[in-house]
Amino acid sequence: MRADRLVATLLLMQARGRVTAAEVAGELEVSVATARRDLEALSAAGVPVYPQPGRGGGWSLVGGARTDLTGLSATEAQALFLLVGPAASVSGEAKAALRKLVRALPRTFQADAEAAAGATVIDHARWGEHDRQRPELVEVLQAAVIRRRKVRLTYTDGARKRTERLVDPWGVVGKGEIWYLLAGTERGRRTFRVDRIAGAEPTDQPSERPDGFTLAAAWREVVGDVERRRSRTWATALVQARFVPVLRNQFGRHCHVEGEVEDGRARVRLGAPTPLDIARHLAGWGTMIEVVDPRSVQDELGRIGAELSVMYGQAPE
């Protein structure tokens, strides 16, 4: 886990004062390129790690060999925990490393460090299209989560309706390359796509958070709700086995392979919110895919085919 490596790298630098990427790679049994990326990530996040170019150079902690983790500033501690926190939501080892790091920090920093560790979740499974760059608002929202301050959002929903809302920010989630804000509102917990937030203004009002709240657990509930809505309709289809990876790319976790039939085709189960959604995904396959059931999906495919035939078909001679 990357969180373990980042912690181990810092402890190694604490012991030696100065290290090279090759030394880190040798100690942690990773490639030199991986070690260099980890060192650069620590430095870019604001942790006091900096390179010394030239012969006899390497990477050092500010203050040299005498610097230890208790020498981190509050801002630097938050930067470190924002980096390693997401991994701790899925790794027991990373979680243990975080607990040890918290105990190593001054008491005045511990609350903010713990908040930073729980402010972000990374979910690598994708939903739909991508936003290939992390929005700048992510850092603004993370800071509001850590400081526990309400945020005034200007938000455009899926129906393109723009509203202004005062929310309690609970955490930021990166799913694939889309970012989401989990927040409390007057109507309960809500999930906001960050790329639909036109403005986010932190306020001085303290935010509220449910007792026992953890971002990772809350996000699992959100994912479960969304997945149930996205798979209300299931269809059985037959397709050449070599095309199954393409279907998996289209339907993600809603593509289940049930086996092969006698002619070498694979039998798959495909899920989507409605029969029309499944038909829209499959219409471009033409006769390369055969929908066995349900009749509702077959009817939608037939209707789409008839419409295309009328629009693009040749007039009879």
How far is residue 249 from each of residues 92, 243, 255, 262, measured CA to CA in Å?
30, 10, 9, 25
113 in any annotated domain: yes
Domain closes at, from 117, 134, 159: 117
In 3D space, the residue among 194, 196, 193, 186 whose CA is nearest the CA of residue 165 turns out to be 186
Q: Are 111 and 129 part of one and the same domain?
A: no
Q: Are 249 and 204 part of one and the same domain?
A: no
CATH code of the domain containing 250:
3.30.70
Query: What are the backbone angles phi and psi of residue 116, rounded to the nearest 5°?
Result: -65, -40
Name the residue with higher pLDDT: 68 or 172: 172
Name the residue with higher pLDDT: 151 or 137: 151
Q: Left if phi > 0, otherwise alpha if psi is -120 to 50, otherwise beta: which for 54?
A: left
Q: Are 6 and 112 part of one and the same domain?
A: yes
User: ∠37-42-46 over CA atoms, to 5°?
Assistant: 140
Q: Are 104 and 39 part of one and the same domain?
A: yes
The whole-number average pLDDT for the span 194-207 is: 93
Q: Model confidence over 64-90: pLDDT tens digits?
A: 434 445 555 556 656 666 666 655 554
Residue bearing tokens 């010394």: 52
149 in any annotated domain: yes
Domain closes at, from 205, 229, 253: 229
Number of Cβ atoms within 10 Å of the Cβ of 114 = 18
Q: Are 148 and 192 part of one and the same domain?
A: yes
Q: Are 21 and 101 part of one and the same domain?
A: yes
The whole-number average pLDDT for the span 167-185 is: 88
Q: Are 209 and 128 part of one and the same domain?
A: yes
Q: Are 217 and 274 part of one and the same domain?
A: no
Instruction: Write the DSSP symbol of residue 313.
Output: S
262 in any annotated domain: yes
290 in any annotated domain: yes
Tell how strand 188-193 and strand 178-185 pair up: antiparallel
Q: What's the domain range around 63?
A: 2-117
82 in any annotated domain: yes
Q: Is the pLDDT of residue 122 over 60?
A: no
Question: Distance between CA 61 and CA 9 in Å, rounded?
Answer: 11
Whether this model's pTM surpasses 0.75: no
Q: Are 175 and 242 part of one and the same domain?
A: no
317 in any annotated domain: no
Q: Total structural domains in the chain? A: 3
Question: What's the mean per-residue pLDDT of the chain?
Answer: 79
CATH code of the domain containing 8:
1.10.10
187 in any annotated domain: yes
Q: Are 38 and 142 part of one and the same domain?
A: no
Annotate 67-116 with three-state secondary structure. Answer: CCHHHCCHHHHHHHHHHHHHHHCCCHHHHHHHHHHHHHCCHHHHHHHHHH
Q: Are 112 and 130 part of one and the same domain?
A: no
Q: Model confidence over 220-262: pLDDT tens digits?
A: 898 888 877 777 899 999 999 999 999 988 888 889 999 888 7
289 in any annotated domain: yes
How confident is the model at residue 130, as a pLDDT? 47
Residues counted in the chain: 317
Q: Model confidence over 285-310: pLDDT tens digits?
A: 999 999 999 999 999 999 999 998 88
Domain closes at, from 117, 147, 174: 117
Residue bearing tokens 């409390």: 184
Query: What are the backbone angles phi and psi of residue 18, rounded to the nearest 5°?
Result: -140, 135
Q: Are 217 and 244 part of one and the same domain?
A: no
